[in-house]
Amino acid sequence: MAKGNSADKVARAAKAGASGATSENRRLGFPVAMACVVILGILLVGWSRSNREATSAPRVGDHWHSAYDIYNCAESESSLESREYRGGWRSKFIIERDPNGIHTHGDGLIHIHPFNSLASGNDAKIGQFVEAYGGFITDSAIKLDTGEVIEEGFECEGKPAVLKVARFDVQNKDREPQVYTENLKDVQFLKNLEAFTIAFVPEDYTPPPPRPERFTYLETVDPRALLSDSPLLELPATDTTG
């Protein structure tokens, strides 16, 4: 009889132990499952975001044009107060090396024609254009295609000059420009027919729009006539004096 009672106790203990283990597994399983759901959600959000960025304009095969100009107030022959901006303009870039599809033809225009995802969507930026010819742009300096580096630290009319990038809307010239003083290499190309001035001006001055001839050429250029599908373009036989 004692043996039977002992056997019953052992069986009940084993059953209770198994039940306790199952309960413990259930308690542990819920947070693990929730953690998996959260991780999966984060991965899906990241994938969705990167997929949107990769497919947002400009896409591979798109061909946008923007005018650009480089202005240095220290070289200006006119007063900044007059807003005439007759001097201080630099020559357009002529080096056309282009690994990813944002380049120039020595024509004063930026050709945004992504060859791959590195120059498309949210990665279509001013930095891509400048770096393509071997230059760079920071929040205080720019390296031109000639190798010259222009850096803050000088004055214009007794005021410290700072580096700015101004975005103008070619299709709405009455719109005030967007002016950037930080993260300049990350300024994005947002649509076809924009204009940009990279300028050294005093902090309280707005960079001038590119010179009129840049807009004239932008309005007449025919993208079908331009060789823009080669990662390494030929140097142009064109006037590079302005």
Shared domain check, 170 and 125: yes
CB 203 within 8 A of CB 63: no
Shared domain check, 2 and 82: no
Per residue in 66-77, pLDDT tens?
999 999 998 765
Q: Does residue 234 surpass a pLDDT of 80? A: no
Per residue in 140-149, pLDDT tens?
999 999 999 9
* 235 inside domain: no
How many angstroms separate the Cα of 90 from the Cα of each of 125, 193, 197?
A: 21, 21, 11
* 237 inside domain: no
* 36 inside domain: yes
Shared domain check, 50 and 102: no
* 118 inside domain: yes
CB proximity list for 85: less than 8 A, separation 6 or greater:
71, 76, 78, 208
pLDDT of res. 97: 81
Q: Does residue 163 surpass a pLDDT of 70? A: yes
Distance CA 229, CA 94 (A): 18
pLDDT of res. 54: 46
* 203 inside domain: yes
Shared domain check, 177 and 115: yes
Cβ neighbours, 10 Å, residue 143: 18
Per the model's pLDDT, the better-predicted residue between 40 and 99 turns out to be 99
Shared domain check, 69 and 30: no
Q: Find residue 232's DSSP bridge partners.
A: 97
Per residue in 146-159, pLDDT tens?
999 999 989 988 89
pLDDT of res. 52: 41
* 236 inside domain: no
Per the model's pLDDT, the better-predicted residue between 78 and 109 turns out to be 109
135, two tokens: 């230059």
CB 107 within 8 A of CB 190: no
Shared domain check, 79 and 196: yes
Shared domain check, 111 and 9: no
pLDDT of res. 78: 53
Shared domain check, 34 and 86: no
Beta strands 194-202 and 64-72, pairing class = parallel
Shared domain check, 202 and 114: yes
Domain range enclosing 131: 64-225
Per the model's pLDDT, the better-predicted residue between 232 and 132 turns out to be 132
pLDDT of res. 232: 36
Total structural domains within the chain = 2
Shared domain check, 132 and 24: no
* 120 inside domain: yes
Shared domain check, 4 and 102: no
- Give the CA angle between residues 167, 181, 184 to the nearest 5°: 70
Torsions phi, psi of 234, nearest 5?
A: -80, 150
Nearest Cα neighbor of 79 from 173, 165, 157 is: 157
Distance CA 17, CA 140 (A): 70
pTM beyond 0.85: the answer is no
